[in-house]
């Protein structure tokens, strides 16, 4: 007869295995970050940050890439913000579950799943060719704005729904209209959660490559940090500068995530 493993033993083995796997995943994350920083930090100095790249990026710094990254990101977020937050308020405050909200939700969730390269194709044909904006920060910003829209909608809606019902009830009972309630009671309490979503979408814009390479282009003076890094690596131009760029990207993303987490912690603490 086959002996079965005792449930207590099976439990120990399974839990041990899961702990190992979980720690390995964390290990991989730490390894990536530490390795990039270890190789990249020595490259970073003042002139690396403030000088324009020369000779295809072999020499000089990455100032132009930093500026392009920041402007594409800022543009994308500024465009997406009113639409995203507006959609969230519409879904959370103005309607119940009906056909329009279902279509809106379906669209937002579908947009969230569309691959970035497809956004790139769309941006290329729509903003570059049809609207004639050419390879530009504007084309890239508009494309990214659509890409980050679902993130802003989802996080803002969660933040709005998390606002206690009593806020609304008190406002309404004082004779406030819906608009007044939203502006003076709901929005101020939801603002931290909404900001969290916006910061996360900043992170997404900074990290994005595929959609940006097809809309902003990969010209030396006109490319984001992620694209600059990609070109330096793939064309074997300068590993040193590639590590430097990667380190700045990692630091930026890390910082963005820390800020987003701090906000959401405070948001939760305040809600309680």
Partner 1 sequence: MKKFKEKLSGRIFLLLALSSISALVLITVFIFVQGLPIIAKVGFFKFISGMEWAPGEGEFGIFPMIAGTVSVTLGAALIGIPVGICCSIFMAELAPEKMRKIFRPAIQLLAGIPSVLYGFCGLIFVVPLIRDYLGGPGMSILAGSIILAIMILPTIISISEVSLIALPRHYKEGALALGMTHWQTILRVQLPAAKSGIVAAVILGIGRAIGETMAVIMVLGNSVAIPESILDSVRTLTTNIGLEMAYASDEHQQALFATGIVLFVIIMILNATAQYITRKKHSKTQNKRKSNETKNQTADR
* Position 248 contacts partner 1 (CB under 8 A): no
Residue 158: CB minimum distance to partner 1, A? 12
* Position 204 contacts partner 1 (CB under 8 A): yes
* Position 208 contacts partner 1 (CB under 8 A): yes
SS (H, E, C) the chain: CCCCCCHHHHHHHHHHHHHHHHHHHHHHHHHHHHHHHHHHHHHCCHHHHHCCEEHHHCEECCHHHHHHHHHHHHHHHHHHHHHHHHHHHHHHHHCCCCHHHHHHHHHHHHHHHCCHHHHHHHHHHHHHHHCCCCCCHHHHHHHHHHHHHHHHHHHHHHHHHHCCHHHHHHHHHCCCCHHHHHHHHHHHHHHHHHHHHHHHHHHHHHHCCHHHHCCCCCCHHHCCHHHHHHHHHHCCCCHHHHHHHHHHHHHHHHHHHHHHHHHHHHHHHHHC
Residue 225: CB minimum distance to partner 1, A? 9
Q: Which of 37, 41, 70, 111 binds partner 1 (CB under 8 A)?
A: 111
* Position 167 contacts partner 1 (CB under 8 A): no
Q: Which of 107, 167, 172, 240 binds partner 1 (CB under 8 A)?
A: 107
Which of 47, 100 has the CB closer to partner 1?
A: 100
**In the range 20-59, which residues lie near partner 1 by CB under 8 A?**
21-22, 25-26, 28-29, 32, 35-36
Which of 137, 225 has the CB closer to partner 1?
A: 225
């Amino acid at each position: 007869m086959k002996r079965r493993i005792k449930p207590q033993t099976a439990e120990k083995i399974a839990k041990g295995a899961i702990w190992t796997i979980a720690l390995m995943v964390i290990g991989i994350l730490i390894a990536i970050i530490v390795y990039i920083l270890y190789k990249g930090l020595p490259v970073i100095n003042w002139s690396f940050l403030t000088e324009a790249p020369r000779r295809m990026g072999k020499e000089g710094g990455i100032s132009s890439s930093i500026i392009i990254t920041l402007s594409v990101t800022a543009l994308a977020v500024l465009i997406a913000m009113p639409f995203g937050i507006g959609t969230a308020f519409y879904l959370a405050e103005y309607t119940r579950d009906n056909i329009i909200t279902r279509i809106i939700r379906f669209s937002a969730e579908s947009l969230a799943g569309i691959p970035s390269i497809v956004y790139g194709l769309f941006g290329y044909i729509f903003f570059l060719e049809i609207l004639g904006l050419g390879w530009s920060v504007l084309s890239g910003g508009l494309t990214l704005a659509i890409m980050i829209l679902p993130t802003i909608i989802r996080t803002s809606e969660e933040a709005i729904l998390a606002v206690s019902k009593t806020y609304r009830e008190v406002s309404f009972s004082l004779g406030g209209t819906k608009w007044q309630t939203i502006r003076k009671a709901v929005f101020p309490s939801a603002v931290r959660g909404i900001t969290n979503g916006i910061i996360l979408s900043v992170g997404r814009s900074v990290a994005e490559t595929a959609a940006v390479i097809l809309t902003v282009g990969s010209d030396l003076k006109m490319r984001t940090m992620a694209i600059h890094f990609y070109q330096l690596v793939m064309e074997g131009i300068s590993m040193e500068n590639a590590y430097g760029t990667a380190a700045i990207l990692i630091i930026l993303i890390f910082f963005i995530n820390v800020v987003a987490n701090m906000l959401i912690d405070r948001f939760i603490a305040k809600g309680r």
